[in-house]
Chains A and B, each alone.
Chain A
Amino acid sequence: MRRFILGAILALMLVVGLAAPAMALTTADVTVTATPSYISISVLPTTNDFGVVAASSTPSTTTTYFTIDNNSSVVTDQTIAVTTTTWSGGVTWTHSDTCTPGADTAGLMANKGGTWGTGDIIVKNASPNPIAENQPATTDYSFGLKLYAPTSFSDGVQKQIIVRVTAVTG
């Protein structure tokens, strides 16, 4: 009998629930979204020291040594360049945009997570080369750098140059 009463109560609740009218709605909501076209990248580590280099040597990092943390909300085109035409320190080195080392003239190559020698990118000062074209939003990547040391040096002072990765809307 108890089961019978329980069943009857459930059935009654069901009927009452279905019959109850909804309240009239005095408001109507629209959810609006927008995603900022935002470009933001950072790199780690931010320094690399090739140490003492011999003339005509080509020391390099691994091709995944530097990681670009890409927080861009849109597809980007990213280029790699040096910010000056020379390496600073003592008798400066000329930076070769063709990556052709010479007397006090050095070059740099980059490689985006591949194998050195395959797909190397010349790191130039003028007309930077792309390192990541159509890079998807919020997608990180890694790269490495290879130095093409001068064929001869005029002094032993440490040289320095800044490598810059630049992202623009792709």
Chain B
Amino acid sequence: MGVYKVKLPIRGSVVKGLLIIVPVVVLGLILVSLFMPARRVSIEGVGKVSFETTVTLSVGSEVAHANPAISLRAVGAYVSGTANLTPVIPTAQLTGDMMLCFYGTKPYSDAPTINQGWTSLGYATNGTVAAGTDVGSMQTRVFYKIAITDTETNPTITNTTNNVSGAVIIVFQKGTGESWNTLVGAGGGDATAGTGFSVTASSDVGHTTGDMVVGYAAIRSDAGTQSSISVTITGCTMGTFTESPAADLATTSGGDMAMSGGYVPVNSGTSSAAPVYASTLAASHTGSAYIVRLRASTPDISVNPTEYGFGIVTVSSTPSTTTTYFTIDNNSTIQTDQTISVTTSSWSGGSGWTHSDTATPGVDTAGLFANRGGIWGTGDIIVTYNSPNYIYENCPIGTGYSFGLKLLAPTSFSDGAQKQIIVRITAVAG
């Protein structure tokens, strides 16, 4: 057997050389840029000009929300019947979990209510056909609640016009430090009987990487069990759809119905169209589906400018910035509670100053006030070290604001060395 050598039109050594040199040069340039000093001029105090050389390192870019870590906690079992239903919360449920209760029912016009602090997010139908055995338009509705205890009580769904209904509770957990974004969803119906079941939701509620999409469909007959369920969203690359519970609900109570669904993560991309729930029915029927988007985020704030010099201050003076001097850029996709504090109990530099948590100046003891865009003296906030005070409680999603700082200088000084302290705004889910 002969050995054939293929001769490239470009010499192999040149190609290899480029493959080595180009990445190394690019990496080198990035490293150099990271450590390249930046010249900065700052004016401090009265007529004092200083030149500083700073090295600024930054990594990556800001994101609108953190990388969520939503995962299934547990799913309960389907319940069904012609009376009020009490779906079962899985015992694994913990405080802070997002509990979703998908409820399929007919007639389509049912107006079910729920207790135990649950809320109806929305519903969808596939027409206005009256309920009957294996016929009738279906209503698919979702209720939700964020668990406030580890052992939530099962809710009861009251439906006075119930022909038949089925329900299941599926529970999701979020990552540490994250909070649930406002729950959104949309649904629709497939009123054309066939084994190919497809529902395009009424709207694109917005989906992006890290979201979890949960969808269920209620079918008008117990023969309408589903297989090959999927949720697709234009613009998004979806993960694997998990049917949960694994087995469909199929009941011959009342006018019969079937129900199934599950969840699928958005692996990447951003939606540009409404999601589509699709499955294959075991028999030709119709039904409706509802699709919910789960998103969890951490707060995301930044401040500008990041430094301020009061300059030379005299004893017992109270120099201040304007009350809009600092701006908080709030990119949080959740409501937040924001506090203001100092990060140390004393000011550094020479004979350090004690920081007064009551804003009471004294010998080498200073205090700080903050004011959020108002008038000094009205609504001033003490900037403490312990037990930080709110600067903005229940700050709405994406709402930035401004604030100022006022120094309450010590009543006497032990030296003239510049003092420094760090003021920190902290945002948590509100």
Interface residues of A (CB under 8 A from B): 3-4, 6-8, 10-11, 13-14, 18, 20-40, 71-75, 137-138
Contacts and interface: CB of A to CB of B under 8 A. Distances in A.
Contact of A24 (B22, B65, B328, B413): B65
Contacts of B314: 37
B192 interface: no
Nearest to B330: A28
Given A35-B309, A35-B418, 17 more contacts: A7-B19, A14-B23, A18-B60, A22-B59, A24-B332, A26-B298, A26-B299, A29-B424, A29-B425, A30-B308, A30-B405, A30-B424, A33-B308, A36-B315, A40-B416, A71-B415, A137-B416
Interface string B340-376: 0001000101000000000000000010100000000
B303 A30 contact: yes
Contacts of B46: 74-75
Nearest to B306: A30
B45 interface: yes
A60 to B, nearest CB: 33
Interface of B: 16, 19-24, 26-27, 30, 44-46, 59-63, 65-67, 177, 297-303, 305-315, 319, 326, 328, 331-332, 343, 347, 349, 366, 368, 405, 407, 409-410, 413, 415-428
A25 B65 CA distance: 10
B308 A32 contact: yes
Nearest to A36: B413
A72 B417 CA distance: 9
B416 A29 contact: no
B24 A10 contact: yes
The 8 closest A-B pairs by CB, nearest first: A73-B416, A38-B416, A11-B23, A7-B20, A22-B60, A28-B303, A24-B300, A36-B413
Contact of A27 (B21, B312, B427): B427
A69 to B, nearest CB: 13
Nearest to A21: B63
A8 B311 CA distance: 53
A82 B49 CA distance: 37
A18 B427 CA distance: 27
Given A7-B19, A32-B310, A24 B297 contact: yes
A33 B419 contact: yes
Contact of B409 (A28, A36, A72): A36
B399 to A, nearest CB: 14
B66 A23 contact: yes
A107 to B, nearest CB: 35
Contact of A28 (B62, B301, B407): B301
A14 B26 contact: yes
Given A31-B306, A32-B308, A34-B313, A22 B61 contact: yes
Contacts of A21: 60-61, 63, 67
26 contacts: A6-B20, A10-B23, A10-B27, A22-B60, A23-B66, A24-B66, A24-B297, A26-B427, A26-B428, A27-B425, A27-B426, A28-B424, A29-B303, A29-B343, A32-B309, A33-B349, A34-B347, A34-B418, A35-B417, A36-B312, A36-B315, A36-B413, A37-B312, A37-B313, A37-B416, A73-B312
Contact of A34 (B299, B306, B311, B331): B311
